[in-house]
Amino acid sequence: MALILAVETSCDETAAAVLSGCGGLLASEVWSQASLHAGYGGVVPEVASRNHLAALPQIVRAALKRANATISQIDAFAATSGPGLPTALLVGMACGKALAIGARRPFLAINHVEGHLFSPFFGAEEVPPHVGLVVSGGHTLLVDVAAFGECRVLGSTLDDAAGEAFDKVAKLLGLGYPGGVEVERIARAGDPARYDFPRSMRHSGDFRFSFSGLKTAVRYLLDRGPVSLPDVCASFQEAVVEVLVEKTLSAAAACGRGLVAISGGVSANRRLQELARERSGALGIELRLAPPELRTDNAAMIGYVAALQRARGVAGCLDADVLPSIDLEAFGRLTAGV
């Protein structure tokens, strides 16, 4: 089985993984820079890229050691090409290309969102038809997937991504970074019905999202006087997850899919998982979640997409460049490796 070494540096996680084909994860190393950025209240691109540059060689060596493999045994290399922070992406892409050139092996540039999208099916050689919700700090979008290489974006966020909204509201509330984890933790003691926050675009008739108005509603509530912090967190969280789940299940019905998959960092939110299970089960729709270790940014999901591409004859290209922004119209073609 062919060995693939993949690296991921799109934001503030420095990661490397070694896979044997689609199903064999031999090593996955992830180093988070969250503590380095906490004092700034968010990710600082130049700080992230400098630390990727310093940490990546060590992370790659650790992955190879854990996999009991050498560079000469790797059959193909892969790295995240985007979307993400431009300078951070450049570090991973340069590393992947350099390793591929030195080993005289193919190099594959992988779309970060594809990594999340297919992570719920990690290990499978075929991706079943489904509607996928990718929900993270940087992305919120619904994708109809007929098969690997046959994807159609149904809708994305018009402003803030869901994870970004969590982080911004956490900052308004004076909580730590990353904010989503803090909001969820405090929400467990709160009443989700205490504050009636807006469910933006809930009945818009399409599959687009908007969370900036919800963030503004929280700010206006805080301006009016003292509030219950647990209840604000619980009510805000409920407003976000209700829209995510309802839009996802509506998309599944519109596309005739009996399977939905949720991935990305926000998919770790327990209330989102709970509501998705409850409502998908009531409709007889199967729900698939990414494994816990693949929900936040990691290189294993990047290697998995590379393995799927290699299995379909994609040769790779050393001329590939970083793509900081996602091209929604070209998303399906990117998945196919064209």
Do 70 and 156 sit in the same domain of this protein? no
Which residues, including other chains, have CB under 8 Å from residue 109's CB and lie 6 or more apart? 78, 79, 80, 81, 93, 96, 316, 317, 320, 321
Structural contact between residues 233 and 183, judged by C-beta atoms closer than 8 angstroms: yes
pTM to 2 decimal places: 0.94
Return the pLDDT at 333. 54
| Number of CB atoms found within 10 A of residue 299's CB | 34
Q: Minimum mean pLDDT among 125-129, 169-173, 325-329: which range?
A: 325-329
Do 175 and 251 sit in the same domain of this protein? yes
Q: What is the DSSP string of 37-86?
A: HGGGTS--HHHHHHHHHHHHHHHHHHHHHHHT--GGG--EEEEEEESS-H
- CA–CA separation, 284 and 258 (whole Å): 8
Closest CA to 258 of 122, 144, 142: 144
Return the pLDDT at 332. 57
Do 114 and 132 sit in the same domain of this protein? no
236-275 pLDDT tens trace: 999 999 999 999 999 999 999 999 999 999 999 999 999 9
Q: What is the CATH number of the domain that holds 173?
A: 3.30.420.40
Return the pLDDT at 328. 73
Do 15 and 108 sit in the same domain of this protein? yes
Q: How many domains are contained in the chain?
A: 2
* Domain contains 222: yes
190-238 pLDDT tens trace: 999 999 999 989 889 999 999 999 999 999 999 999 999 999 999 999 9
283 exposed, middle or buried (CB, 10 Å; 0-12, 13-18, 19+)?
Answer: exposed
Do 274 and 316 sit in the same domain of this protein? no
Single-letter amino acid code for the residue at 213:
G
Do 192 and 96 sit in the same domain of this protein? no
Return the pLDDT at 336. 43
Both tokens of residue 137? 């700090």
Last residue of a domain, one of 256, 273, 289: 289
φ/ψ region of 201 (left if φ > 0, alpha if ψ in -120 to 50, else beta) reads left
Domain residues for the domain of 102 are: 3-118+294-335
Return the pLDDT at 268. 96
**3-state DSSP assignment of residue 290:** coil
Do 262 and 305 sit in the same domain of this protein? no
Determine the average pLDDT of the residues in 185-194.
98
- CA atoms within 13 A of residue 275's CA, in its CB half-sphere: 20
Do 112 and 186 sit in the same domain of this protein? no
109-161 pLDDT tens trace: 999 999 999 999 999 999 999 999 999 988 999 999 999 989 999 999 999 99
Return the pLDDT at 337. 44
| Number of CB atoms found within 10 A of residue 275's CB | 17
- CA–CA separation, 109 and 323 (whole Å): 10
- CA–CA separation, 96 and 26 (whole Å): 18
Q: Which helix (H) or strand (E) holds 20?
A: strand 13-20
- Model confidence at 324: pLDDT above 50: yes
* Domain contains 123: no
Do 148 and 274 sit in the same domain of this protein? yes
Q: What is the DSSP string of 297-310?
A: S-SHHHHHHHHHHH
Average pLDDT, the chain: 94
338 vs 323, residue with greater confidence: 323
What percent of the chain lies above the pLDDT cut of 90? 86
Q: How confident is the model at residue 334 (pLDDT cuts 50, 70, 90)?
A: very low
